[in-house]
Amino acid sequence: MSEGLLGSEWFRLILGLLIVLAFSQLNALFLVWLERKVAGHLQLRPGPMEVGPHGLLQTIADGVKLVGKELILPFKADRKLFFLAPVMVFMPVLVGFLVLPFSRGLIIRDMNVGVLLVFAFSTITVLAILTGGWASNNKYALLGAVRSVAQNVAYEIPLLLAVLSVVLVVHSLSFAKIVEYQKTVWFIFLQPLAGLIYLIAATAETNRAPFDIPEAESELVAGFHTEYSGMGFGLFFLAEYTNMFIVCAVATSLFFGGWNGLFGISLGIPGVFWFLLKTYFLIFVIMWVRWTFPRVRFDQLMNFSWKVMIPLSLANIVITAIVVKII
């Protein structure tokens, strides 16, 4: 690292933020396209084909359309909160990028509380959804928002417990240290249960099917973003996909060895490539699940969390703690 301006902390941070902004937007656009393609091919159809090669530019066209649309404020809606919510939903997602370990040394800020930071900020998403749903002055939106809060509270617990069992082994909350630890053996092999719980809870955290009950389009029309039009809707949409990327990236770092190759064999491929490969594969899995399963009902979802996932993850932590103590 050179001295002076280039080496300064602030420069690093601003540069990082710019890169994150650009990357997250492009990534979300790509993911939307990918989702459509995955859905299409799973459903015996080609998906978007018209704009650009294989419809690659379709999401850009859609984005332009969304930007050009009028932002409609519903009757008697809370104006300030209504427009604050889409901004609020996007902010924590950006913070998450700051600590993601793309490769060795390719971290904007490697903090010793990185894991904590990501999950702490991801909670704000729920607040944004609640704000948006409440401010819309629409019963469907409110129902969606309330569902979202209940769901996130229920699923954050097993999610964090699953993460905790990894942290217990490594004795650190820093992403870099956790990834280093998995040089030879990924955590998914040491902690298969925690990994599975994390993936399920993460799907629920990001409101993805089969846990997409806050927006359940066949029940609540569009849930919390029923009343949002134009870029208001667009931001919720982008945040959802960026959120998905973060959740999968965290899963990659915590359970799938981050930038490490399988069993320490990296084949000379740069770490960042390994990292992205695994992350996008996990994203693909989540999409695959979405287009295969029907939606669970609200009470079933809560039952599953409180009666199955939380006891299991608690048991997992206890066992992990005992094993760590003995070794």
Partner 1 sequence: MAELEKIEASDRVYSLNLGPQHPSTHGVLRIVLDLDGEYIIKADPVIGYGHRGHEKMGENRPYKQFLPNTSRMDYLSGMLFNHGFVLAVEKLVGIKVPERAKYIRVIASELNRISSHLLWFGTYLMDLGGFTPFLYAFDDREQILDILDSITGSRLTYSYCRFGGVSRDVDLKFIEMTRAFLKRMEKRWADYDSLVTKNVIFIHRTRDVGVIDRELARQYGVTGPNLRACGVAFDVRRSEPYEVYDRLDFEIPTGTKGDALDRYDVRFKEMQQSCRIIDQALDQLPEGEFLTPKVPQKLGPPKGEVYTAFESARGLTAYYMVSDGSPGPYRCHIRVPSFGNLNALNDVLPGTLVADAISILGSIDVVIPEIDR
Site residues for partner 1 per CB under 8 A: 39, 42-45, 139-140, 143, 209-210, 212-213, 216-221, 291-300
> How near is the Cβ of 304 to partner 1 at its closest, in Å?
10
Compute the CA torsion angle 163, 164, 170, 171 (nearest 10 deg).
140
> How near is the Cβ of 201 to partner 1 at its closest, in Å?
17
CA dihedral sign of residues 78, 81, 85, 87: positive
Q: Name the residue nearer to partner 1 (CB basis): 45 or 325.
A: 45
| Burial of residue 64, with CB atoms counted within 10 A of its CB: 0-12 exposed, 13-18 middle, 19 or more buried | exposed
> How near is the Cβ of 139 to partner 1 at its closest, in Å?
5
CA-wise closest residue to 284 among 214, 179, 186, 208: 208
> How near is the Cβ of 219 to partner 1 at its closest, in Å?
5
Q: Nearest 5°: phi and psi at 262?
A: -70, 125
> How near is the Cβ of 129 to partner 1 at its closest, in Å?
17
| Residues 6+ positions from 14 with CB-CB distance below 8 Å | none
Query: Could you give the count of Cα atoms lying within 13 Å of 203 in the half-sphere of its Cβ?
Result: 25
Q: Name the residue nearer to partner 1 (CB basis): 96 or 144.
A: 144
| DSSP code string of 68-105 | HS--PPPTT--HHHHHHHHHHHHHHHHHHHHT---STT
Q: Name the residue nearer to partner 1 (CB basis): 200 or 249.
A: 200
For every residue of 158-175, which 3-state class applies, written as one string?
Answer: HHHHHHHHHHHHHCCCCH
CA dihedral sign of residues 258, 264, 266, 271: positive
Q: Name the residue nearer to partner 1 (CB basis): 42 or 285.
A: 42
Given a contact cutoff of 8 angstroms between Cβ atoms, the answer to whether 152 and 232 are in contact is no
Q: Name the residue nearer to partner 1 (CB basis): 62 or 215.
A: 215
Q: Name the residue nearer to partner 1 (CB basis): 255 or 304.
A: 304
- The amino acid present at 124, given as its one-letter code, is I
> How near is the Cβ of 221 to partner 1 at its closest, in Å?
6
Q: Name the residue nearer to partner 1 (CB basis): 205 or 215.
A: 215
> How near is the Cβ of 143 to partner 1 at its closest, in Å?
7
